[in-house]
Amino acid sequence: MPTILTPKDREDWLAMRAEDVTSTEVSALFADPVTGASLSPYMTDYELYHIKAGLTEDTFEENERMKWGKRLEASIAAGIAEDLGVKIEPYNHYVRHDKEPRFGASFDFRIIDHPKGLGNLEIKNVDGLVYRNKWSETEATDYIELQVQAQMEIADIEWTLICALVGGNEPKFIYRDRDREVGAALCDAVRDFWILVDAGIPLAPNYARDSDFIVSLHQSAGVNLLETEDEEMMDRLKSHYNIGQEIKALETERKEVKARIIDEVGDEYNKVKAGRYTLSCGMTKETPATEITEEMVGESYGGRKSYRTFRVTEKKGE
């Protein structure tokens, strides 16, 4: 049986999560087989290792959509229950896997009177563009698919209803059954991860994938000089310098091409279509400045002048 804990408050809940790989973090242990990119949109396995090993703080911050999604969860859940004719209840517990005690999950709601039996209800507040680009009618994004499989594995529940509220007013539903092979793979990944952490065996970084995080780890410098004849270091410095020069040259060329286009288009047009390419070059709306009253002194209010945009897009699929 899974271990069910009831956090006293948010701080208690955060402390519980800090001891585990959670269902929202487990996707960081997996990478896209083609691109090598982490399946987590928030971190890589290298970053997760540093957090769980206590080498750095977890600095993840919710964006505004995530914050509002949580604030609206109860209302969204009530609407879903009404639309589908099911009974739901909030599930405010934190659950740990029975065989992998450092594998845990939190939940939104549970569906308690469905013909399929007890199920999880996972609510996502999804931007319309994100849904169009990363979801389908039958599949959520990879990290959400792994999250709900982890939740079912941890809580020993057989199905989940994923509800994406798209654009704030369009619910999309995906019923997902538990996949025990996926659950076993998640448990194996979590077990192997903690073996490395406990043994102090560091993960090797993927410098392309982990570049921003690695730079964030080294934000202070001493006053010493490192002089070296190391050929790899010289090659890297040379490469960085040469790439920088190429970027400057390309940016100069890009500006020249833009100037030629604008000079030819002139002031009459706000859009150009040429074959597969479209140029949008209209004007933004002007925002008038706010008149500052005595009560508003010290606050920041300002307008923005209209300016001309310049964006070239390519039509795909032809």
pLDDT at 8 over 60: yes
Number of H helices, E strands in the chain: 9, 12
Domains of the chain, first to last: 3-215 (3.90.320.10), 231-314 (no CATH)
pLDDT at 299 over 60: no
Q: Are 106 and 154 in contact (CB under 8 A)?
A: no
pLDDT at 75 over 90: no
| DSSP run (H or E) holding 126 | strand 119-126
pTM: 0.80
How much is the pLDDT for 286?
82
pLDDT at 235 over 90: yes
Within 15-108, strands assigned E span: 21-22, 88-90, 94-96, 103-106
Distance CA 187, CA 190 (A): 5
Band of pLDDT at residue 100, cut at 50, 70 and 90? very high
- The amino acid present at 66, given as its one-letter code, is M
Band of pLDDT at residue 57, cut at 50, 70 and 90? confident
How much is the pLDDT for 316?
80
pLDDT at 40 over 70: yes
CB-based contacts of 126: which residues, under 8 Å, 6+ apart?
Answer: 135, 164, 165, 166, 167, 172
DSSP 308: B
pLDDT at 238 over 90: yes
How much is the pLDDT for 287?
77
pLDDT at 317 over 80: no
How much is the pLDDT for 268?
93
pLDDT at 145 over 90: yes
pLDDT at 255 over 70: yes
Distance CA 204, CA 287 (A): 49
